[in-house]
């Protein structure tokens, strides 16, 4: 029998504490894991008391996740080196601004066969270019690093509200183990191999969220009505344009044929609109600024292979 794996949560903010809560409950009932979880806490005083002492005495992170008890087996540790030294599984849940310093402190302190998972949404920027946070951890600590990202609000997850999340992990066995560590009845986990895509989605959506806040704050609320972003998301998930385009890409059959076969007389609006808008963009010499619209037009009407779709967008003049 293999030795139970010890888990350390590196971080104890809003999400870090919600994750520690899940992990603490899960390890108690799964013999593949050691029954205690170390949670590294960036020490600070709250009402004159050390936060670690409050967490260990009251089993609640009263500053970052108030109102939700942590299981007794989650032990707050202020010394990062001590917290991580016995861990087989390292869960990184800190704001991305602190990742370099945290990894630097961990260097030489972790078990050589430990592996990690990052819950951190962000990217790292340096003179050599952008880097995923998982890559920063991997390069600094020499361990494999998966990611977990999803439409998850820490307080809601802690309340046990239903939501789903995605683990990106290239190793099948590790992915299965990490799913066992994270999944609950209310927090449902899907594991995919494309870890980089999972991570970049998590990082970039935060910029859009800031933009959405600007719009709301400025009173430009119409995009947030049902006709705006909501309809965009709805059509991309469940609409007829999406369904027929999906079949087009999978089968290589023509749009006309598929529309006739799949829609029983109903009419697609997307390709025709792409053609109509294309006329205007061409007249105004704006095609370069709308690479997605242009790519859809070329694929639908000019015989451009659908397999070029991503490269059309990648080759936007602004990126050259």
Ligand X SMILES: O=P(O)(O)OC[C@H](O)CO
Closest CA to 4 of 183, 191, 181: 181
Work out whether 12 is an interface residue with ligand NAD (CB under 6 A).
yes
Q: How far apart, in whole angstroms, are the C-alpha atoms of residue 308 and residue 232?
A: 23
Binding test (CB under 6 A) with ligand NAD, winner from 8, 9, 15, 114: 15
Q: Token pair for residue 100?
A: 């370099």
The piece of 14-22, 24-32, 252-260, 297-305 that touches ligand NAD (CB under 6 A) is 14-22
Number of other residues whose CB lies within 10 A of the CB of residue 249: 12
By a kind-dependent CB cut-off of 5 to 8 A, residue 293 interacts, out of ligand NAD, ligand X, none, with none
**CB atoms inside a 10 Å sphere around CB 142:** 11
168 binds ligand NAD (CB under 6 A): no
Whether the CB-CB separation of 295 and 304 falls below 8 Å is answered with yes
The residue with tokens 């939501």 is: 163
| Catalytic one of 101, 161, 205, 260 | 205
Nearby residues of 21 by Cβ (< 8 Å), 6 or more positions away: 65, 68, 69, 70, 71, 74, 158
> Is 228 annotated as a binding-site member?
no
Question: End-to-end distance of the chain based on CA atoms, in angstroms?
Answer: 55
Binding string to ligand NAD for residues 127 to 156, with x set by CB under 6 A, is what? -------------------------xxx--
Q: 36 Cβ partners below 8 Å, 6+ apart?
A: 6, 27, 73, 74, 75
- By beta-carbon proximity to ligand NAD, the closer residue of 74 and 245 is 74
The nearer residue to ligand NAD, 67 or 252, going by C-beta atoms, is: 67
Chosen residue from 45, 57, 66, 98 binding ligand NAD by CB under 6 A: 98
Contact call for residues 177 and 189 (beta carbons, < 8 A)? no
Please, which of residues 47-66 interact with ligand NAD by CB under 6 A?
A: 64
122 part of the interface to ligand NAD, by CB under 6 A: yes
In the list 4, 28, 30, 42, the residue contacting ligand NAD (rule: CB under 6 A) is 42
Task: Please tell me whether 240 is known to bind a ligand.
Answer: yes
Active site residue 205: yes
Identity of the residue, 130 or 313, whose beta carbon is nearer to ligand NAD in the bound complex: 130
239 contacts ligand NAD (rule: CB under 6 A): no
* 206 has binding-site annotation: no
Q: State in angstroms the smallest separation of the CB of 212 from ligand X.
A: 10
Exposure string for 228-239, b = 16+ CB within 10 A, e = fewer: eeeeeeeeeeeb
What are the catalytic residues? 205
């Amino acid at each position: 029998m293999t030795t139970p794996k010890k888990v350390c949560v590196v971080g104890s903010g809003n999400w870090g504490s919600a994750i520690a809560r899940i992990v603490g409950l899960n390890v108690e009932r799964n013999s593949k894991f050691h029954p205690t979880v170390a949670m590294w806490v960036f020490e600070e005083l709250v009402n004159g008391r050390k936060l670690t002492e409050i967490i260990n005495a009251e089993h609640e992170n009263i500053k970052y996740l108030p109102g939700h008890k942590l299981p007794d087996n989650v032990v707050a540790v202020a010394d990062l080196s001590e917290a991580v030294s016995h861990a087989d599984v390292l869960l990184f849940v800190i704001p991305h601004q602190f990742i370099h310093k945290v990894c630097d402190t961990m260097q030489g302190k972790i078990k050589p066969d430990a592996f990690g998972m990052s819950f951190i949404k962000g990217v790292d920027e340096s003179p050599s270019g952008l880097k995923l946070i998982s890559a920063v951890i991997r390069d600094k600590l020499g361990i494999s690093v998966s990611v977990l990202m999803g439409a998850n609000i820490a307080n809601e997850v802690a309340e046990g509200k239903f939501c789903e999340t995605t683990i990106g992990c290239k190793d099948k066995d590790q992915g299965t183990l990490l799913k066992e560590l994270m999944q609950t009845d209310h927090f449902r986990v899907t594991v995919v191999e494309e870890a980089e895509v999972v991570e970049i989605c998590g990082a970039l959506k935060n910029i859009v969220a800031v933009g959405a806040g600007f719009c709301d704050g400025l009173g430009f609320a119409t995009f947030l009505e049902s006709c705006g972003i909501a309809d965009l998301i709805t059509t991309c998930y469940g609409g007829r344009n999406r369904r027929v385009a999906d079949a087009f890409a999978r089968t290589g059959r023509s749009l006309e044929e598929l529309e006739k076969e799949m829609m029983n007389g109903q009419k697609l609006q997307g390709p025709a609109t792409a053609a109509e808008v294309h006329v205007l963009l061409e007249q105004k010499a704006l095609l370069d600024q709308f690479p997605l619209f242009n790519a859809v037009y070329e694929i639908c009407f000019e015989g451009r292979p659908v397999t070029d779709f991503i490269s059309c967008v990648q080759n936007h003049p602004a990126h050259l």
